[in-house]
Structure 1
Amino acid sequence: MLLNHKISFAFYIRSILPQALLIFLFTNAIVLLKLFSSWVLVVPIAVAAILGTCIALLLAFHTNQAYDRWWEARIAWGALVNDSRSLIRQLQVFVANGPDRDELLHAFVERQCAFCFVLGDSLRGQDVTARLQAFLSVADSQRVAQATNIPNALLLVQGLSLRGLYDCQRITDYQLVQLNMTLNNLTDSMGRCERIKKTVFSRTYTFNMQVFIYLFATILPFCLDPVHYLLDVPLVTLLSSAFILIEKSAIQLQDPFENKPTDTPMTTIAQTIEIDLKSMTSYAPLPDKPVAQSYYSL
């Protein structure tokens, strides 16, 4: 997720530099040709104005749709935060006192932290072995790693552990239902993230949008007066680059799980969950609070 106070200007330049350079060179060639030749086609400025207006409307729609996907992902991770806290709080309230109470709670905390970190890494297509080894025992991490859906396997272990508490009469049947509802909420949030990840945004729409932008960049130099050379070239380059930048920003937002600066900050959220859960169950020492080292947070 990009941070308001540290956004690097180079981040924007790098994303559009090849296209902007291509448009700059093409515009230079057309303007110079218009200066030294009378055989260059002259296009009415109204054509470029109409096309630019259409592109602006389409970009607004594209950006809104892309932001909706990003915001839905952020809402899902906000729900993961709330449900993770609720799960541990319910266990603290429901589980009766006993010599192994703290050990039981800590086991649930470790598995829940592992679930949050592993879910984020899985959505980004990253290896989760280190995450499992950091929070689970060797035997448990090897067993969970064999599952086709590792985050779901971790929730299954949580559910089976709850059933073990019920069988030992550490929680009542009503309490088991409440805890199971919290696990269902976690499953729903996980499913929402997986749906966003696996649902491909229309590539045809993106392709058509790019065609319109480059068509605009091609037509605009033919609409301007070549006498104002120092103004025409940067003007065409800036206008076209602005459209390209907005379109690329929409493409980045529509895929919030790609390990990019515009991602949903899943790792940061998981670190926050870890700190909250461990502080609730008297861990010492607590992990350090996540601090962004750049202009974005992952």
Structure 2
Amino acid sequence: MLLDKSIPLTFYVREIRREALFVFLFANLVVLIKLYFSLWTLTIPVAIPTLLGTCISLLLAFRTNQAYDRWWEARIVWGAIVNDSRSFIRQLQMFLGDETPDRQAVIQSFVMRQCAWCYVLGDSLREQGVNERLHQFLSPADAERIAQSDNKPNALLTEHGMAIRQLYDAKLLTDFQMNHLSTTLNSLTDSMGRCERIKRTIFPQTYTFNMRVFIYLFAAILPFCFEAAIYFLDVPLVTVIASAFILIEKSALQLQNPFNNKPTDTPVTTIARSIEITLKTITGFHSIPPPLPAEPYYAL
């Protein structure tokens, strides 16, 4: 997630350098042809790119809005994960009485499994390896068993459920308490499913293709709209205007995929560390990890 800090110009240039270079070279080619072959009469009325630019602006506004909705939904889902994680552990602290054998160890085992779930969910959404996370929070046997699952976050929630069932069978939880814990697990499952839906639902590629065709058509027409007297403005203006449209389109493309391990991502790892700190603090862990340091202008 981009932070409220100064974003280096290289971040923007890196995103559009190829497209901007292509537009720059094409504009130079048009100007050189018009200059050396005296084809300044080959001029297109400026009303045509103006109309096309207006249409592109409307389409980009719609595209950016839809992309931001996907990004914002992902952020809302991870906000719900924070709340449900806290609620889940707090419920266990309230429901498990002092007569529970090894009460502190039982609660802390749930904490470690919940922390593992948060990290593993985020890494899975980013298509990164999760075995190291599993071994960090779980016993070797549990980590190996979860690692063999196709859906590792779901397997961790299943482990939660089985552990709760064991407490219920041991008469350490009442029907009412088990129902509340199951409801919280269902909320976590719902959040996981929403994240997976965002990840797997592809934004229509035809829309992206059409948008780029319109932008490049606009960039191709614009060099023919300048008069001979101001030919020195042709190349820089065409490059800057076209690059602005391309940058907006690229920004929307990044926002619509909030789990791609890029600076514009939803900061799932940072959120998972925040959850870990909170849960370990309220359950008496001696070793509390520090918050993840942010990069110069973004957090992941």
* TM-score exceeds 0.5: yes
Q: Quick check: 1:116 aligned with 2:138? A: no
Report which stretch shifted further, 182-191 or 257-266: 257-266
Partner of 1:256: 258
- Rounded to whole Å, the distance in 2 between the matches of 1:113 and 1:138 is 16
CA contact (8 A) 1:118 1:151 kept: yes
Deviations 1:74-103 (A, max 9, x none): 111110000000000000011011450100
Matches of 1:64 and 1:145 in 2, distance apart? 38
- Deviation of residue 270 (structure 1)? 0.3
RMSD (Å) for aligned C-alpha atoms: 1.0
Give the TM-score normalised by structure 1: 0.98
Residues 65-124 of structure 1: per-residue CA shift (max 9 Å, x gap):
011111111111110000000000000011011450100000000000000000000011
Q: 1:194 aligns with which of 193, 196, 208?
A: 196
Task: Please state how far the C-alpha of 1:32 moved relative to its aligned partner.
Answer: 2.4
1:152 alignment partner, SS class: helix
Where does 1:18-57 land on structure 2 (aligned, <5 Å)?
A: 18-39=18-39, 41-57=42-58
1:148-163 matches, cutoff 5 A: 148-163=150-165
Shift of 1:25: 1.5
* Pairs within 5 Å for 1:19-168: 19-39=19-39, 41-98=42-99, 99-168=101-170
Per-residue deviation at 1:251?
A: 0.5
CA deviations 1:189-238 (Å, max 9, x no partner) are 00000001111100000000000000000000001113223322111110
Indicate the larger mover: 106-115 or 229-238. Answer: 229-238
Distance 1:169 1:19 in 2: 66
Alignment partners' CA distance in 2, 1:30 and 1:132? 58
Percent identity over the alignment is 62
In the alignment, the residues of structure 1 paired with residue 260 and residue 88 of structure 2 have an alpha-carbon distance, to the nearest angstrom, of 29
- Equivalent AA in structure 1 for residue 97 of structure 2: A
Secondary structure of the structure 2 residue equivalent to 1:113? helix
Range that drifts further, 83-92 or 222-231:
222-231
2:223 aligns with 221
Which piece of structure 1 moves more, 109-118 or 165-174? 165-174
User: Which runs of 5 or more structure 2 residues have no equivalent in the other structure?
Assistant: none
1:117 & 1:59 partners in 2: Cα distance?
34
* Aligned-partner SS, 2:229: coil
Aligned-residue offset at 1:3: 1.1
**2:4 aligned partner:** 4
Taking the aligned partners of 1:33 and 1:147, their CA distance within structure 2 comes to: 62
Q: How far does residue 50 in structure 1 lie from its aligned partner after superposition?
A: 0.1
Classify the secondary structure of the residue corresponding to 1:186. helix
TM-score by length of structure 2 reads 0.97
Q: In structure 1, the residue corresponding to 2:163 is in which secondary structure?
A: helix
SS of residue in 1 equivalent to 2:299 = coil
Structure 1 stretches of 4+ with a deviation exceeding 3 A read: none
